[in-house]
Amino acid sequence: MSLAAWIRCGWPLTPTTAPMTTESYDFSRCKLCGAAAAAPRYRLKTTTIQVCAACDFHFINQLDVMPTERPEAEVRTLDVVAWNFIEKQLKKNRRLLEQRLALVARHLPLNETECLDIGAGVGLFGHLLQEAGATSFGIEPQLIFRQFAEEKYRLQLRAETIEHPFWQERHAGHFAVVTLWDTLEHLNFPVETLRDAIQVMKPGGLLFLDTPSRDSFYYRISEWSYRLSNGANPLFLNSLYSPKPFRHKQIFTVQQLTDLIERLGLKVVELNRSGLFDSSNKIMLVAQKPGDSAR
């Protein structure tokens, strides 16, 4: 996967508390509802999309091996080529991140607010939070991006993913804001990661996330095309999913995502579903943990 895609996409996080591992996962088990009801439906060039007969969740039959599981695979270094490449991508992403910051600021004052960005990439969002007066923590499993965040922004991102005791024990009920920007679709186990993210939120704390929508025109027309062509022409499905490391593994419908968030005990307080022909194809969601005092 390219650095550009890495930066854009954020990171998958593998919960060790989940009753499965990346090596032994049985893909007939639905990653959303847990039923043994998922079967291959769309066979693409490089991967296969499983569909759950119980809840209609779509996910591919591949998982990422995390750097923590295989540290020797992390050979890329932050040389001048990588640095310049990241800088160039950041210029493109800055406006989007500023819009996300404005969304968070619309929901609560940021000054002295404790925030955690899951899938922090090179730390630009965390940096913007700090500029706004917030205290910013970030999770970033990839060493090269942590190095960039440290050198560029003096921001120390953590390698430990959200299921780690560093978060679950030392930061339980701690954060007023947790963000997952463009991250949910990349996670090995999105339900478990969200559950663990909610554990570190304060009562009354807010969760912000965005993720591609399966209700989009592009997705629907691709499914029709696949069926009509007997699999010969899956249109955009080939670009919506990828077996390469840290790429899209699942895409939620608005209903599946809001049901999940509520099942995990949060209340959806703002929801932006992209229109059928909206080119962003994104669901943007803000949800609140029960209780008072987010700050």
Closest CB to Zn ion among residues 32, 104: 32
DSSP string covering 164-177: SHHHHTTSTT-EEE
Q: Which residues contact 234 (CB under 8 A, 6 or more apart)?
A: 42, 44, 222, 225, 226
Q: Give the DSSP H/E element, type plus range, for residue 211.
A: strand 201-212
Of 171 and 248, nearer to Zn ion (C-beta) is 248
In whole angstroms, what separates CA 81 from the centre of its chain? Answer: 27
Residue 58 C-beta: closest distance to Zn ion, Å: 10
CB burial of residue 100 (10 Å; 0-12, 13-18, 19+): buried
Reading the block at residue 157, the tokens are 């991102």
Nearest alpha carbon to residue 115 among 174, 168, 166 = 174
Closest approach, Cβ 52 to Zn ion, in A, equals: 3
What gap in Å lies between CA 265 and CA 259, rounded to an integer?
10
Closest CB 254 distance from Zn ion, rounded Å? 16
Q: What is the dihedral of CA 14, 19, 22, 26, to 10 degrees?
A: -140
Closest distance between Zn ion and the C-beta of residue 263, in Å? Answer: 12
Q: Tell the smallest beta-carbon distance from residue 109 to Zn ion (Å).
A: 39
The HSE-up count of residue 120 (CA atoms within 13 Å, CB side) is 37
DSSP 216-263: SHHHHHHHHHHHHTTTS--TTHHHH---STTS--EEB-HHHHHHHHHH
Residue 54 vs 269, nearer CB to Zn ion: 54
As measured in angstroms, the least distance from the Cβ of 134 to Zn ion is 37
Q: Which is nearer to Zn ion, 53 or 73 (CB)?
A: 53
Residue 52 or 110 having the CB closest to Zn ion:
52
**Residue 181 in tokens:** 């920007």
Using CB under 5 A as the criterion, which residues of the chain lie in contact with Zn ion when the complex forms?
A: 30, 32-33, 35, 52, 54-55, 57
Nearer to Zn ion by Cβ, of 27 and 236: the residue is 27
Tokens 């439906």 appear where? 41
Q: What is the torsional sign of CA 17, 175, 249, 78?
A: negative
Query: Minimum CB separation from Zn ion for residue 235, in Å?
Result: 24
User: Would you say 9 or 52 has its CB closer to Zn ion?
Assistant: 52
Q: In angstroms, give the least distance from the CB of 211 to Zn ion.
A: 17
Separation of alpha carbons 29 and 150, rounded Å: 39
Nearer to Zn ion, 55 or 180 (CB): 55
